Structure 1
Amino acid sequence: KVFVDTTVLVCKSYTNLLFLFPPSTSVQSELRITTIKQEPYTMSKGTQLEGFCMDLLSEVAKKVGFKYKVHLVKDGSYGRQDESGNWNGMIGEVVRGEADLAIAPLTLTAAREKVVAMTKPFMQTGVSILLRKDISEGAGFFDFLTPFTAETWVGILIAYLGTAACIFVATRLSPCEWSQPLSEQNTFSFLHSLWYTAGALTLQGAGPHPKALSGRIICCSWWLFTIVLLACYFSNLSSSKTSDSSHLMVKGFEDLANQDMIEYGCLAGSSTLAFFKNSNNPVYRRIYEHMERTKSFVTSMDEGVRRAKEGNFAFIGESVSLDLAVARHCELVRAHEVVGMRGYSIAAALGSPIIKNLSVAILQLSEAGELAYLRSKWWASSCISDKAKSLAVQPHSLRGMFLVLSLGLGLGALVAVLELTSKSRRSAAEQKKSCCTVLSEELSLRLRTSNANKVQENLEKDKEKA
């Protein structure tokens, strides 16, 4: 008697273990898989099917250990419940037992979770907006600064102030520029040096020009720098300038709801439509009511993308699908705002013993980076070169010109010191003083601002007397 009871207990325990953790031999010899054609999840290649979902199915089958046969859903629908409570599409096939698994971009929702078992999400998505680039953004007040980054503008400002300071110092030190500090006024004050440098930056010029070799070296270096700088600025400004065909700014759902110039809609009968329909957010409710009133729904993803490309239409859909459209069509852009985050999952019949193992396999693929690899493989963009054109110029892109300017400023300052030293040596020989003493006196005389003010006052007095 005891022996029989133990056998029953063992058999029951073994049956429970098979239900929770079925080995490969407990799974059907060939599972029936239903899917739907949608790029890049499932696509036809000759007589075979390929895409993200097909690669995912292959990897999951290896880990769990089952064979499968894939067929396309008969009615071409994901799965929606009608008024009588019956489900169509892939969800309906799983519910009716016509398929064991449904693998596609199936959104994990509460309604679907009630009638089928769904795995852990293999991809996260949300709801966003797809528009044509010329209506997605408006012109800002400071768009003229976009050709350069903030770091580049700071570098240009430092170069401007440094050049003006070098011109000011060189024209005061050089005897060829200012030969008689006691009787002559220096034409290159610091304010005039700033004005002269700004004039050269705008290619307008602001005389008088330096006469000494040291000042001319500095000016030539600055002129060369400004020519390259302006060429880079205007080139990048023209490439990043957006079309002026529309001045409407659409950055998110609130902007979309507050305007009436652009029509918008989503996929009919989709989970995106259900999100707006069931939302209590007043902005989302207004969007839903507008779509219902205007009947601006599309019957397929391709139709939504086509209407967005034609302009004056914003297509609302899953952010992952919209990212694919942006990667394939360079004239489109996705809004930054993403709401209603949810996931794509594999569906199986309620109580299916394989659903647990499928979730574990998906988590293992995610942790190993396989899902990220499949995403990059099937979402590869063909618009990389176009994106690179509108990038702001980084400081390291102009480091060569900054280096040339620095060498020119340093060389000009050195020549100015050499010019003053040469004059000091001649004066020391005439006055029979040491060169260092005469050079020190010259530096003190030329760099004192009070002396310049005194010379200005003397010149004004001479003019009054005359």
Structure 2
Amino acid sequence: MIVKLLLLFACSRCVLTGPPNIGGIFYADDIDSKIALEVSAEKFNFTALTIEVSRRGAILEISENVCQLAEEGVIGFIDGTGGRATEHAQAICDGLELPLIVLQHNDLYSRNWSLINLYPSPLAFNMAVQELVKKYNWNNFTVLYERGHSMVKVQDLLKLSNPIELDAVSVRELRGDNYREVLINAKHSGYTNFVVDCSSNKLELVLRQAQQVGLMADGHSYIFLSPDLFSLDLTRYRYGGVNMTGFRLMDLGDVMLYNYTAQFNEASGYAIEPDNVKTKIVLIHDAVMVFANALSKVRYLRRREIEPAQLNCEYYQSWVYGSTLIDFMKTDKINGLTRSLIFDGFGQRTDVFFDIVELTPAGNQTIGKWENNKLEISRQFVSNAEIAEETIMRNKTFKVLISTTPPYGYVKESPLQLEGNDRYEGFTIDLIDKIADKLGFSYEFEVEPDYGSFNQDTKKWSGMVLKLREEKADFAICDFTITAERQSGIDFSTPFMSLGIGILYKEPSKQPPEMFSFMAVFSKEVWYYMVLVQSALGVIMIFVGRISHKEWQNPVPCIEQPEELTNQFSFANSVWLIIGSVMQQGSEIAPIALAPRIITSAWWFFTMVIVASYVGTLVAFLTVEKNVLPFSNVVELYEHKSISYGAKSKGSTKQFFKDSTNPVYQKMYQKMYSKEWLVPDNDVGVDLVEKTNYALFMESTSIEYTIERHCDLLQVGGLLDSKSYGIGMKKGSPYRFFINDALIQLKETGEIQKLKDLWWKEKRGGGKCGKKQDQEQKQLGMKNMLGAFVVLGVGCCIGLLISTLDMLWGVFKRSVKYNTTFKYELIEELKFALKFSGDIKPVKRPQRALGSAEALAEQEGKDEVKSLKSIRSGRSTDTHRTHHSHSSRHSSSGLSVAFARRREYT
């Protein structure tokens, strides 16, 4: 008996030390979840033990099965049921201290529970959906929720329902399996935006019934909270124009997802793609990964193998490692198939990474992401091939209204009898052809000259607008201006051309140059500065010449010791030097000292630049004949008494003047209307402009076209307004989205600009006039000549600095030589220089009575500082002299004072 007990104990130990058991709670018909658990358990070295619940609400059945697996020894449970079943399973697991991982949202969630929920928390959904609603600028929307849900995932949206942020938020419950009545009521209420919160197995039913009641067309938008939306086949909804947005938890670029999908397909016999795998199947893999990661951490912490315990619910037993395992599961961060697995203190997954996915005609497109509680939209470009591959417009034929207004539409010139669309050509003809190539449809043209307007008396529309509203045509493409009035009756595509109203007028006759046009080369400012600079430079040259010692020259070279020195820089000579340089004739006056030479060189450079600039521009001013316009803007045109003006009698240009609040424009309209200056079409107006004194208001694109073919016409002034051309279609057209997308692509690739250049500048006489040159020459202002003035100023400053230093050096030598103060000599020198009179300067020397002339000349000729000491001592250092002055018997100090007292300037 003892031996049998020992064998039984050994066998139980072998079982317990094998792969750990992990329990799964699923409904009996949930076969895919059970296969996913087995595949994941095998991958992470677990043994899967599954509980099958026969029906919903079988509480006693769940309780018995959980306790049964606890007795078999499991380390935790993965619950795939939800609802009340989760509540009872969690109550048992709390008592046994066994971890429980939940795979789906549970409205019965309580913060007191110790479970782990891998499904994104309601907080994450609230933040993400709220940001999406704001991003889409929804002013009103309807929340559709499945019966039994508490709307906890969209409760923040209800707080937006206030007059400041939104017009209205409607909440509607989806009951049973028939939602048509609820959806029809939402449609009749005018709602086009919907937030749908329902379980994954109800998604297809909601989509199908929404399509049946007409809520899956262009203009309808949806945000689905279920992350399984894009695992469905949405092909039937791709081409209706509906905007459908949802979330995706998996990263389709993860290799691990492809491997797991292959293992699941092998075990189940399916052949599904990774992007079609249900979120619950992927969460089972991540749940087992969380168990495996936490168990390895506990083993590392305990330094030994962790054995599951066989627990009995009746005895209220608990697993000793259970709470530790739960703590590791909540605190560790790992990356699974649904990206980062991070939990808060209550086991909820609040920090979630979502892909924001949108349904387009080209398929499911990732347009952004939700990461770190922030929404980032980065809409991907859908290629032309993908859009044109299959759309709701493909293989259909549409009636397109056109106008034969050049260059938008012409009747083709051909010797053959043409039929159908071949009869027409032009800019908009080519444009609709390119759009049709992209979207794969056909079209038939119908000419309609009346673009359409609203008659306030009859309350009826006319022309193209009327035909589009009555669905007698599908599109209207021409120079169809987008106006507020027309937008109230029809829809327009995104603009394909922007323009404004301009003034077309004939070129005025050429005017010959004026008598004194040679003075117009420089602006008045330049002439004023040149006169000022020449006057100032004359004064500077006189001053610098008077303080520069080398400029004082011996007037009689044959006399070695002259009594007086002369200076060439009188006012007349300075002005003559300046004027001679300007006239490029030179002058006999030539500076000798360094400072005057620097200033003169700077002046010569200045005159070289000025003269070269003047001569280079003078020819154009003497030969070019200028256009003299009688007006330059619309106000001057209104004030002009001899020029008539008008616009096309039917069109947006006339309407602009009629509806304008500008008093000048209103008066112009009244004058145009009363004097019958309005014209039936632009061709008549252009003819009047050429032959009479008439100005025509036209749209700028038409003016560009006209002046390329009528060389004597031009545009005067700027644009009076800003407007755009678009393709017209009926209100709520399901094709607007596709037309807009194609137009944007044609703009981005430059195709529309190429068509404009073709029909404006090449076809039908385009390019006849070439590029018109503005022959009026621009005056040279101070900004053009500033550099020359700066060079002159710098040269004058350098010359003044050098001459000042030269003067100071001479003053210092004389003060040492004659034993006087520096201040005294400086004042005397400045008095003479600043008189600006007299060009004769006496040589400074003592009288003959005080010494011989030879001795004084000897002393006066010694300019070096090193010889000054000998003068002070009264001795001559010249060994070649054999006689000495009588004044040598006197003291040097007395002699210097006597000299200083007798020196005067004439």
For normalisation by structure 2, the TM-score amounts to 0.38
1:200–1:226 contact (8 Å) kept in structure 2? no
**CA 1:279 to 1:4, structure 2 compared with 1: closer, same or farther past 3 Å?**
closer
2:693 aligned partner: 312
Contact 1:184 1:455 in 2 (8 A): no
Per-residue deviation at 1:296?
Answer: 0.7
Alignment correspondent of 1:210: 589
1:125 matched to which residue of 2? 499
Residue of 370, 373, 386 corresponding to 2:773: 386
Mapped to 1, the partners of 2:573 and 2:608 lie a distance apart of: 20
Count of paired positions: 432
**Does the aligned pair in 1 maintain the 2:626–2:775 contact within 8 Å?**
no
The 5-angstrom pairing of residues 245-264 of structure 1 reads 248-252=630-634, 254-264=635-645
Instruction: Identify if the C-alpha distance between structure 1 residues 456 and 220 changes in structure 2 by more than 3 Å, giving closer, same or farther.
Output: closer
Q: Which aligned pairs between 1:393-432 and structure 2 lie closer than 5 A?
A: none
Inter-CA distance 57–293: structure 2 relative to 1 (3 Å threshold) = same
Q: Deviations over 1:171-222 (max 9, x none)?
A: 7799998634963243354x97567646765x598x9653469699778766
Q: For residues 178 and 97 of structure 1, do their structure 2 counterparts lie closer, same or farther at Cα, with a shift above 3 Å needed?
A: farther
Matched, 1:230 2:617: no
Stretch of structure 1 that moved more, 271-280 or 50-59: 50-59
Mark the CA change 1:192 to 1:37 in structure 2 (over 3 Å): closer, same or farther.
Answer: farther
C-alpha displacement of 1:286: 0.7
- For the pair 1:60 / 2:440, whether they are aligned, the reply is no
Contact 1:52 1:375 (8 Å CA) reproduced: yes
After the TM superposition, which residues 42-191 of structure 1 pair with which residues of structure 2 at under 5 Å, given as runs?
A: 42-43=409-410, 49-63=424-438, 65-69=439-443, 71=445, 73-74=447-448, 76-81=449-454, 84=458, 87-134=461-508, 179-180=553-554, 183-187=565-569, 189=571
User: Counterpart of 1:257 in 2: which secondary structure?
Assistant: helix
Q: 1:321 to 1:223 in 2, by over 3 A?
A: same
* 335-344 or 168-177: bigger deviation: 168-177
Distance change (3 Å), C-alpha of 1:32 and 1:177: farther
How far the C-alpha of 1:277 sits from its partner, in A, is 1.7
Q: Map residues 204-353 of structure 1 onto 2, 5 A cutoff.
A: 209-211=588-590, 224-238=608-622, 242-243=626-627, 248-252=630-634, 254-310=635-691, 312-329=693-710, 331-353=712-734
Deviation at 1:116, TM superposition (A): 2.3
In 1: Cα distance, 2:739 partner to 2:832 partner:
88
Stretch deviating more after TM superposition (383-392 or 260-269): 383-392
Q: Quickly say closer, same or farther: Cα 1:212–1:318, change in 2 above 3 A.
A: same
Output the CA distance in 1 between the equivalents of 2:752 and 2:535: 53
The aligned amino acid for 2:617 is: Y
Indicate how the Cα distance of structure 1 residues 349 and 237 shifts in structure 2: closer, same or farther if over 3 A, else same: same
Aligned identity (percent) is 23
**Partners of 1:176 and 1:212 within 8 A in 2:** no
List per-residue Cα deviations over 1:224-268 (Å, max 9, x = no partner).
Answer: 545432223323435775345x6x43422x322223211100011
Structure-to-structure mapping, 1:427-438, within 5 angstroms: none
What is the Cα deviation at residue 108 of structure 1?
Answer: 1.3
Report the equivalent of 2:743.
362
User: Structure 2 stretches of 5 or more lacking a match?
Assistant: 1-175, 181-203, 220-239, 242-360, 362-389, 415-421, 556-563, 762-766, 807-824, 843-906
**Distance in 2 separating the partners of 1:51 and 1:37:** 9
Alpha carbons of structure 1 residues 273 and 450: separation in structure 2 relative to 1, 3 Å:
same
Counterpart residue number, 2:392: 26
Separation of aligned partners in 2, 1:183 and 1:95: 105
**2:208 corresponding residue in structure 1:** 10
2-side partners of 1:375 and 1:260: how far apart? 37
In the alignment, the residues of structure 2 paired with residue 110 and residue 223 of structure 1 have an alpha-carbon distance, to the nearest angstrom, of 63
**Counterpart AA for 1:303:** V
Q: Is the 8 A contact 2:482 2:725 kept in 1?
A: yes
Instruction: Indicate conservation of the 8 Å contact 1:35/1:70, yes or no.
Output: no
Separation (CA, whole Å) in 2 of partners of 1:169 and 1:50: 81
SS at match of 1:134: coil
Q: Which amino acid aligns with 2:699?
A: E
With over 3 angstroms needed to count, the CA separation of the structure-2 counterparts of 1:332 and 1:183, relative to structure 1, is farther
* SS of 1:183 mapped into structure 2: strand
Number of the residue aligned with 1:425 = none
Q: What SS does the corresponding residue of 2:773 show, helix, strand or coil? A: helix
**Contact in 2 for aligned 1:177/1:211 (Cα 8 Å):** no
CA contact (8 A) 1:178 1:184 kept: yes
Which sections of structure 1, spanning at least 5 residues, go unmatched?
A: 422-443, 462-466
Aligned-pair distance for 1:289? Answer: 0.8
CA distance in 1, matches of 2:577, 2:493: 71
Distance of 1:195 and 1:243 partners within structure 2? 41
Judged with a 3 Å threshold, the aligned counterparts in structure 2 of structure 1 residues 455 and 298 are, in CA distance, closer, same or farther, namely: closer
1:427 equivalent in structure 2: none
Is the CA contact (8 Å cut-off) linking 2:402 and 2:409 kept in structure 1?
A: yes
Higher relative contact order (CA 8 A, sep 6+): 1
Distance 2:570 2:692 in 1: 58
Kindly tell me: are residues 309 and 368 of structure 1, through their superposed partners in 2, closer, same or farther at Cα, counting changes over 3 Å? same
How far does residue 343 in structure 1 lie from its aligned partner after superposition? 1.9
Give the counterpart letter for 1:60 in structure 2: I
What displacement does 1:19 show? 4.2
2:186 corresponds in structure 1 to none
Q: 1 CA distance for matches of 2:660 and 2:605?
A: 63
What does residue 37 of structure 1 align with?
404
Moved more, 329-338 or 154-163: 154-163
Change (3 A) 1:32 1:452: same
Task: Tell me whether 153-162 or 319-328 shows the greater mean CA deviation.
Answer: 153-162
In the TM superposition, what is the alpha-carbon distance from 1:16 to its structure 2 partner?
Answer: 3.6
CA 361–165 in structure 1, closer or farther in 2 if over 3 Å, else same: farther
Q: Within 1, Cα distance between the matches of 2:685 and 2:541?
A: 62
Report the residue type matching 1:210 in the other structure.
Answer: I
Q: Distance in 1 between matches of 2:740 and 2:520?
A: 46
Q: State how 1:443-462 maps to structure 2 within 5 Å.
A: 450-453=831-834, 456=837
Letter in 2 for 1:183: L
449-458 vs 91-100, greater mean Cα deviation: 449-458
Contact 1:166 1:218 in 2 (8 A): no
8 Å contact kept, 1:73–1:90: no
Q: Secondary structure at the match of 1:264?
A: strand
Range 154-163 or range 208-217, more displaced? 154-163
CA positional deviation for 1:122: 2.4
> How far is 1:326 from its partner?
4.3
Shift of 1:367: 5.7
Report the CA distance between 1:13 and its aligned residue.
2.0
